[in-house]
Structure 1
Amino acid sequence: MNIGNKIKQLRTHKALSQSELAEVLHVTPQAISKWESNTSQPDIQQLPAIASHFGITIDELFEYPVDLEYERIDRMIENETVMTFEFFQHSEEFLANEIRQDPRNYRAHSTLADLYHYQACKLNEKAIHYAIEALRLNPDNKNDLCTLSNASHGHISDWNISNHSKLIQELQTMLKADPTLQRTKLFLLDNLIEDHRFAEAIKILEEGPDQELYPFYYVWIEERKVGFEAVKAKYIELVEKYTDSWKILMSVANRYASNHAYLEAIEIYEKAHEIAPRPRYIDPLSCIAYLYKNLGNTEMAIKTWERELVLLKEEWNMTKGELVSEIKGNIERIDK
C-alpha cells in the first residue's frame, strides 16, 4: 500500500504543482511533499477529498500489487461491471506501463486488448442509444441511420468495408508461422466461409488434421452454395451422429436460427446446453430466450432468462454485474 506514490502519479498526470494541490486540499505544500516522499501519510479524514479531486474511489488511491491490479481489471471485464472513465484511464495507464517495462509481457497485451474491446462495446451501446434518440428528433437522417447500423453491426453494402480480408490475412500469417494453431484455423475458416472463399476453406479442411467441428464446416460450406433447405437433412444427420458434441450441436442450432427455423433451433440449443461441460456458458439459453421472444412466446422467454440467472449464480457464482442487470432488464421490459 503506497498512497504517496499514487498521489504523486495523479498530481503529475493532471499537471499540478505540489503548491496547487496543497491549495485545493487546504494543506501545506510541505504536507504534500511528505506524502509523496512517504515520510508521512494523509489523515483518513482527508482521503475522500483527495479521491474526489482526482475523480477516483478511495480504494483506487492505494497502490495494489501487480497481480491484484490484473485481477481487478479482469474481474471488472468478466463480470461486465459498469466501468468509470477514471477506472478505464487508470487501467490503461497501468497496462501500458507494464508493456513499456516488458514489451513481451503477454498478460499485459492480452488484458489491454480486452480492456479496449470492452470499452469499445460500451461506447457502441451509447452510440446506439443516442443515434436512436437523434432519429426520433430527425427521422430518416442518413448520418444517424449509418451510425445506428454501424454501431449495431448491421448490414454493410460496400464490399470493401464488409469483407474480412484484413483479418483473414492476419490469421493466415499466424498459421504460416505455426501451422499447428488449430483454434486459429477455425477462426480462419469462419471468415473464409463468410467471404464465400470456399475453395480456400475446403483446402484447409482437406489438409487436416481433422478437428471436432470439421464435419459441420463441410455442411455449412455446402449450405452457403446451395441453400439451407437443400442441406437440412445433412444437418439432421450431424445432430443424430454427434450427440456428445455440444460444439457441433450449437453450430447446427445457429444455422437453424439464422434460417428462421426457430422451434427446431430451440430443440437443438437445449441439447447443446444439456451436454455442455460445466461451468456452462449462457449462450444456448440466451439464444433460446430471444427465439421465444421472436415467436411471441413471452412466457417461455422469461422462464429461459430466469434459467440464465440461476445458471450464472450456481455455476459462476455471479449474482450481480452488468450481465445480470441486462438479463433482469429483459424480463422487466417484457413484464411491462
Structure 2
Amino acid sequence: MKIEIGQRIKSLRIEKGVTQEELANHLGLSYQAVSKWENNISTPDIQLLPLLSVYFGVTIDDLFEMPHEVHLDRIDQMIDNERIMSTENFNYAEQYLKGILDEDPKCARAYYLLAALHYHRAESDKYLASEYAKSALFYAPDDKAHHNIFNKAMGGVASDDYYNRHDALIEYYENFVKTHPTNRRAYLYLLDQLIADRHFERAKEVLEQVKTLKHSCLDAIYEGDIAFAKGNEEEALTLWNASVTEFPNAWEAYISRGDGFVKLGRYEEAISDYEKCFSLMEKPRYTDPLTFMAKAYELNGDYAKAIETHQRVIKILEQDYNIVSGELVDAPMREIKRLQALI
C-alpha cells in the first residue's frame, strides 16, 4: 500500500486555507520540511501525528494510509529516540499496537513493541523518580525512606540479598528451555541469572547443554565468569584468554574479555580489547564496545580520552545508521558534558 500522507496533508492544508510556512511555524519546523512531505520526498515523524491531527481537526487514521510495517518502524524509532515520551505519544503507540493485535493476535512484533514501549516508560519513570528522590535527599538527607526510594529508582543493590535475586527470571527460563530445548539464546540468558545468583552447579550443567548446541567463544567466557564469581581470578583470566586464543577473529571474545579486565581493574587491557572488538565488526557496527571503552577510560582517570570515545560513538551513529538526533545521540552528549565538568 502506498503512503499517501503527503498529499493528505496538502489537501487538508489547502482546505484550512493556510500556507506551508504557516503550518511549518505551528509545528516548529521549516517550510521545506512541509514541502518535502507534500512532494512525497519524506514523511513526518510519528511524534508529529497527534499535532497534525489536532491542527486539522481529523483523526490520526484519517491523516494517511501506510503499511503496518512502516508504522511499526516509526514506533520503534520513537522508542529509541525519545528519552521521556509524552503521554500523548505513548497512548497513540499503545493503541495502534493493540489495534494490530485485534486483527492479528499472533503478531510477535506488536507484542515486542508493546513490551519495549512499556519498558521505555518504566525506565523514564525510574529516571524521574531518581530526580525527585535527589531533591528529597537534598532537603532531608537523613531520611531513610528517601535513600531507599532513590536506591530503588537507580537499580541499586539492596542490603537484604533476597531483593537482589532473580528467582522469577530463572524459573521462567528453566521452563522455557524445557519447551525449547534447542534455543541456545535462552540458555545463555538463564546462565547469566544463575551465575549472578551463585547457582554455580546448575550453571555448569546449563553450560554443558549450551556446548552441545554450538561450540563458540562464549563457552570459555562463561567458564571464566563462573570461576570469577567463585573468587578464582587467575583461573577466570586463563579461561577468558583461552576464548580469544581459540577464536581470534570473534569480536564477542574480545568484548567479553574486555569486560573481564574491567572487573579485574586492568583498564588499559580492557580498552585494547574493546578497540579490537570494534575493529572486527562489519558495518553497521554496534557502538557498545566504544561506550564500554569510554567507561574504561573514565575509570582509568583519562577523561579526555573518554570524551573522545563518546564523540566516536556519535560519529558512528551518523556514518553507519544515519542517526544525527534523538536519545541515541543525546545519551553520549550528556556523558561528554558530564565528563567535561570533571576536567
Q: TM-score, length-normalised on structure 2?
A: 0.78
**Which stretch has the larger CA shift, 302-311 or 81-90?**
81-90
State how far apart, in whole Å, the 1-side matches of 2:157 and 2:92 are.
Answer: 36
Of 190, 195, 202 in structure 1, the residue corresponding to residue 192 of structure 2 is 190
- Which position in structure 1 is the counterpart of 2:118? 116
Correspondence 1:45-64 to 2 at 5 A: 56-58=50-52, 61-63=59-61, 64=64
* Partner SS, residue 156 of structure 1: coil
> Is structure 2 residue 105 aligned with structure 1 residue 89?
no
State how far apart, in whole Å, the 1-side matches of 2:53 and 2:262 are.
Answer: 46
Aligned letter for 2:321?
W
1:210 Cα shift? 3.2
Do the aligned residues in 1 keep the contact of 2:283 with 2:320 (CA within 8 Å)?
A: yes
* Partner SS, residue 50 of structure 2: coil
The structure having more radius of gyration, on CA atoms, is: 1
- Which position in structure 1 is the counterpart of 2:179? 177
- Which position in structure 1 is the counterpart of 2:337? 332
Q: Deviations over 1:262-299 (max 9, x none)?
A: 22211111111111232111111111112212222111
1:56 Cα shift? 3.4
- Which position in structure 2 is the counterpart of 1:127? 129
State how far apart, in whole Å, the 2-side matches of 1:41 and 1:319 are.
Answer: 29
Correspondence 1:130-149 to 2 at 5 A: 130-149=132-151
- Which position in structure 1 is the counterpart of 2:293? 288
Do the aligned residues in 2 keep the contact of 1:82 with 1:321 (CA within 8 Å)?
A: no
Residues 1:69 and 1:210: Cα distance change in structure 2 (over 3 Å):
closer
State how far apart, in whole Å, the 1-side matches of 2:4 and 2:271 are.
Answer: 54
* Partner SS, residue 213 of structure 2: coil
Aligned letter for 1:235?
W
State how far apart, in whole Å, the 2-side matches of 1:119 and 1:244 are.
Answer: 38
- Which position in structure 1 is the counterpart of 2:213? 209
1:157 Cα shift? 2.7
**Which stretch has the larger CA shift, 231-240 or 89-98?**
231-240
**Which stretch has the larger CA shift, 84-93 or 256-265?**
256-265
Do the aligned residues in 1 keep the contact of 2:81 with 2:327 (CA within 8 Å)?
A: yes
Unmatched runs of 5 consecutive residues or more in structure 2: 6-11, 28-48
**Which stretch has the larger CA shift, 160-169 or 77-86?**
77-86
> Is structure 2 residue 312 aligned with structure 1 residue 307?
yes
Residues 1:267 and 1:80: Cα distance change in structure 2 (over 3 Å):
farther
Do the aligned residues in 2 keep the contact of 1:219 with 1:234 (CA within 8 Å)?
A: yes
Aligned letter for 1:62?
I
State how far apart, in whole Å, the 1-side matches of 2:308 and 2:245 are.
Answer: 27
Do the aligned residues in 2 keep the contact of 1:246 with 1:271 (CA within 8 Å)?
A: yes
State how far apart, in whole Å, the 1-side matches of 2:139 and 2:199 are.
Answer: 42
Aligned letter for 2:71?
E
Q: Deviations over 1:280-333 (max 9, x none)?
A: 111111111122122221111111111111111111111111121221222233
**Which stretch has the larger CA shift, 320-329 or 96-105?**
96-105
Correspondence 1:244-323 to 2 at 5 A: 244-323=249-328
> Is structure 2 residue 38 aligned with structure 1 residue 44?
no
- Which position in structure 2 is the counterpart of 1:33? none
* Partner SS, residue 226 of structure 1: coil
* Partner SS, residue 51 of structure 2: coil
Residues 1:307 and 1:59: Cα distance change in structure 2 (over 3 Å):
farther
State how far apart, in whole Å, the 1-side matches of 2:186 and 2:16 are.
Answer: 51
1:43 Cα shift? 4.6
1:59 Cα shift? 5.4
Residues 1:283 and 1:218: Cα distance change in structure 2 (over 3 Å):
same
> Is structure 2 residue 138 aligned with structure 1 residue 166?
no
State how far apart, in whole Å, the 1-side matches of 2:163 and 2:278 are.
Answer: 35
* Partner SS, residue 303 of structure 1: helix
State how far apart, in whole Å, the 2-side matches of 1:70 and 1:59 are.
Answer: 19
State how far apart, in whole Å, the 2-side matches of 1:163 and 1:335 are.
Answer: 37
1:80 Cα shift? 4.2
Do the aligned residues in 2 keep the contact of 1:288 with 1:304 (CA within 8 Å)?
A: yes
1:211 Cα shift? 3.7
1:335 Cα shift? 2.8
State how far apart, in whole Å, the 2-side matches of 1:146 and 1:231 are.
Answer: 34
**Which stretch has the larger CA shift, 230-239 or 80-89?**
230-239
Q: TM-score, length-normalised on structure 1?
A: 0.80
State how far apart, in whole Å, the 2-side matches of 1:2 and 1:280 are.
Answer: 33
State how far apart, in whole Å, the 2-side matches of 1:106 and 1:131 are.
Answer: 37
Aligned letter for 1:319?
V
- Which position in structure 1 is the counterpart of 2:46? none
Aligned-residue Cα RMSD (Å) equals 2.8
Q: Deviations over 1:188-227 (max 9, x none)?
A: 1111111111111111222322342112111211221233
Give % identity.
Answer: 29
Aligned letter for 1:44?
K
State how far apart, in whole Å, the 2-side matches of 1:279 and 1:57 are.
Answer: 33
